[in-house]
Amino acid sequence: MSQHRRPIVIRRKKAEEHGSHGSWKIAYADFMTAMMAFFLVMWLLSGTSKSELEHVSEYFRTPLKVALTGGDRNTASDSAIPGGGDDVIHSDGEVAKTVLQPSNYQPDRALRRLKTRLENLIREDPALRALRSQLKLDLTPEGLRIQIIDSQKRPMFELGSARIQPYMRDALEHIAPLLNELPNGITLAGHTDDLPYASGETGYSNWELSSDRANASRRALVAGGLDSDKLLRVIGMADTMNLDPRPDAPINRRISILVLNKQAQQQLEQENSTPGTPARINASDPPSTLGDMLGVKPVSAEEISSKPATP
């Protein structure tokens, strides 16, 4: 039986030796390039301000939002991506394009230096150091904003009045010289809380109160040495721009001083210099029309002849 067994033959293939290659070097080079780019981006971001990061983030977020929602392209936009509607702050013509450019949202060095100097002054000046918790400085797309916020313990004005407190006057007079160091124009706004104005003369509301407080602050700044020609606008905002939803929150009662950047100042000056349409009064208009426009009631000839002459 053993003579009929078939022999078992095992064939072993000899492995072929391949030459060494450097494909791993390509993958390693790609990895190192990606890591270098990553750390380069991280290094650049570490030296970028928070406001600049927000604007960069918004720049990349807006096109995606527009692409998803669709719509017509805004004529005042420089973007090549179709979509979107009117801007939140809409303005016609080339002025709108100038204001909405991303470069305009970057605070210039002069305003940054002014902010630093004001922060140092607040730490060193006793009159300002006492109000340190009520002084807020921040850089906005329009310029450097200085806010003086009310407090229950140290109110800026007398209750329901535009009479400024002595320490508030001292603080404004100490800030004024620094504001003269830049040629930038300045706007000043007064704000109140949501509580209705319940005292004083009839018809006097938070609108009048906020305007009077803004003017009182303006007078204190000018008394401290501020060049009055730098003031481009002084307005009262009443309770239209509250920072806290609570009606009686002290933070809503504040004075905002805005040192404008170049772009914001140019637009404001253009708005201030835009002429209005004057009313036209023609001599050929009927007497009743002229009387209505001038506030004069016409008198007939019979009424004149019936009245006795005044001695």
Q: Mean pLDDT over residues 264-271, rounded? A: 88
Instruction: Provide the pLDDT for residue 9.
Output: 77
Binned at pLDDT 50, 70 and 90, residue 11 comes out as: confident
pTM beyond cutoff 0.85: no
At 113, which CATH number?
3.30.1330.60
Binned at pLDDT 50, 70 and 90, residue 106 comes out as: low
Q: Is residue 228 part of a domain?
A: yes
Q: Is residue 21 part of a domain?
A: no
Instruction: Provide the pLDDT for residue 307.
Output: 47
Dig out the tokens for 70 from the structure. Answer: 């669709």
DSSP three-state, residue 52: helix
Domain with 204, as residue range(s), is 109-270
Instruction: Encode pLDDT of 142-201 as tens digits.
Output: 999 999 998 888 888 888 888 999 989 999 999 999 999 889 999 999 998 888 766 656
* Most confident among 6-20, 156-170, 213-227 (mean pLDDT): 213-227
163 CA to centre of own chain: 28
Instruction: Provide the pLDDT for residue 19.
Output: 58
Q: Is residue 161 part of a domain?
A: yes
The residue type at 210: S
Task: Kindly tell me if the per-residue pLDDT of 250 is higher than 70.
Answer: yes
Instruction: Provide the pLDDT for residue 300.
Output: 47
Task: Kindly tell me if the per-residue pLDDT of 103 is higher than 50.
Answer: no
Instruction: Provide the pLDDT for residue 22.
Output: 73
* Most confident among 1-5, 102-106, 219-223 (mean pLDDT): 219-223
Instruction: Provide the pLDDT for residue 269.
Output: 87
Instruction: Provide the pLDDT for residue 74.
Output: 44
Q: Is residue 205 part of a domain?
A: yes
Binned at pLDDT 50, 70 and 90, residue 86 comes out as: very low
What average pLDDT does the chain have? Answer: 75
Q: Is residue 14 part of a domain?
A: no
In the chain, the percentage of residues whose pLDDT exceeds 70 is 65
Q: Is residue 173 part of a domain?
A: yes
Domain count, the chain: 1
Determine whether 235 is exposed, middle or buried from the number of CB atoms within 10 Å of its CB (0-12, 13-18, 19+): middle
Instruction: Provide the pLDDT for residue 255.
Output: 93
Instruction: Encode pLDDT of 34-47 as tens digits.
Output: 999 999 988 888 87
The pairs formed by 237-246 with CB atoms below 8 angstroms and a separation of 24 or more are 237/189, 237/190, 237/191, 237/210, 238/191, 238/192, 238/205, 238/206, 238/207, 238/209, 238/210, 239/191, 239/192, 239/193, 239/194, 239/206, 241/191, 242/191, 242/193, 242/194, 246/194
DSSP calls for 164-202: BPHHHHHHHHHHHHHHTTS---EEEEEE--SSPP-SSST
Instruction: Provide the pLDDT for residue 118.
Output: 92
Task: Kindly tell me if the per-residue pLDDT of 141 is higher than 50.
Answer: yes
Q: Is residue 254 part of a domain?
A: yes
* Most confident among 10-24, 45-59, 129-143 (mean pLDDT): 129-143
Binned at pLDDT 50, 70 and 90, residue 309 comes out as: very low
Q: What gap in Å lies between CA 216 and CA 157, rounded to an integer?
A: 10
Binned at pLDDT 50, 70 and 90, residue 215 comes out as: very high
